[in-house]
C-alpha cells in the first residue's frame, strides 16, 4: 500500500539540498495551508523545466536550446575560456565581474572516490574546444577545495598540452570555500587578479 500523499510530498521535498525532515514538513504544510495556488504553479513550472531544460552542446551550461545565450552571443571574446564547476559558479562570475569571454561548465569536479573522473566532467569535449585555434587562455575557476585544486591542476596540464595558457583565479577566495557563496567583491577581486598557473 503506498504511503499517504502528505508523506510522499514531505519525502519528495527532501530531495532539495539542505532540506531535512522538519524543513520539508514545514514546506509541505505551508503549501497545503496557505499556498495551494503557488504549489500548483511550482509543480507545473518544475515539470516543464525538467522536461525542457538540457545542456548547451558547447559549454554544458543549462539551456533550453542547443546553444545557450552566452555561446550564441557573437560579441563574446572567444579567446578566453573560463572553466567553472557549476552553472551557479558561472552565474556568480557573470554577475560579479566584467568578464566577456565564454565558459565551460564541468558540472562537478574530479573526485575518484565518488567515481567522478575526466569522462564525467566532459573533458573530452573541453579538449576539442582547446584544439580550436580560437582559445588562447583557459581561466580555471574551480573552488579552493582539495578536489577543486586537483581539478585545476588537471585542467592546467590539459591546456598546456594544447599550447593554451592556463590561469587560475587569484587566492583571496577562502580555502575550502565554494564559489557560489563568495561575496561579489572578493570574487571580482580574485577574478581580476588571476595569475598564470605554473608547474
> Do 140 and 168 touch, CB atoms closer than 8 A?
yes
b or e along 36-65 (b: 16 or more beta carbons within 10 Å of the residue's beta carbon)?
eeebeeeeeeeeeeeeeeebbebbbbbbee
Residue carrying the nine cell digits 521535498: 13
Q: Nearest-CA neighbor of 153 among 168, 173, 136, 133?
A: 168
Q: What is the pLDDT of residue 166?
A: 95
Question: Alpha carbon of 46 to those of 9, 27, 38, 170: distances in Å?
Answer: 14, 16, 12, 37
Mind listing the domains of the chain with CATH numbers?
Answer: 5-52 (1.10.8.420), 62-196 (3.40.1360.10)
Please write the tens of the pLDDT for every residue from 98-124. Answer: 899 999 999 999 888 888 888 889 899
Give every residue of the chain whose pLDDT is below 50, as ranges.
none
Please write the tens of the pLDDT for every residue from 128-143. Answer: 999 887 899 999 999 8
Q: What is the pLDDT of residue 184?
A: 81
Q: Say what the pTM is.
A: 0.78
Q: What is the pLDDT of residue 2?
A: 72
Amino acid at each position: 500500500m503506498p504511503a499517504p500523499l502528505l508523506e510522499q510530498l514531505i519525502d519528495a521535498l527532501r530531495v532539495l539540498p539542505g532540506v531535512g525532515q522538519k524543513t520539508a514538513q514545514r514546506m509541505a504544510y505551508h503549501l497545503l495551508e496557505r499556498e495551494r495556488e503557488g504549489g500548483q504553479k511550482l509543480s507545473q513550472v518544475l515539470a516543464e523545466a525538467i522536461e525542457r531544460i538540457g545542456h548547451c552542446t558547447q559549454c554544458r551550461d543549462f539551456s533550453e536550446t542547443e546553444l545557450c545565450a552566452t555561446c550564441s552571443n557573437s560579441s563574446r571574446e572567444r579567446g578566453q575560456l573560463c572553466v567553472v564547476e557549476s552553472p551557479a559558479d558561472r552565474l556568480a562570475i557573470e554577475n560579479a565581474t566584467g568578464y566577456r569571454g565564454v565558459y565551460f561548465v564541468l558540472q562537478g569536479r574530479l573526485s575518484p572516490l565518488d567515481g567522478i573522473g575526466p569522462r564525467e566532467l566532459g573533458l573530452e569535449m573541453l579538449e576539442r574546444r582547446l584544439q580550436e585555434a580560437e582559445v588562447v587562455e583557459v581561466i580555471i575557476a574551480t573552488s579552493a577545495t582539495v578536489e577543486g585544486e586537483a581539478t585545476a591542476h588537471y585542467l592546467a596540464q590539459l591546456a598546456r598540452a594544447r599550447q593554451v595558457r592556463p590561469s587560475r583565479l587569484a587566492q583571496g577566495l577562502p580555502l575550502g570555500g565554494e564559489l557560489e557563496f563568495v561575496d561579489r567583491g572578493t570574487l571580482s577581486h580574485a577574478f581580476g587578479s588571476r595569475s598564470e598557473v605554473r608547474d
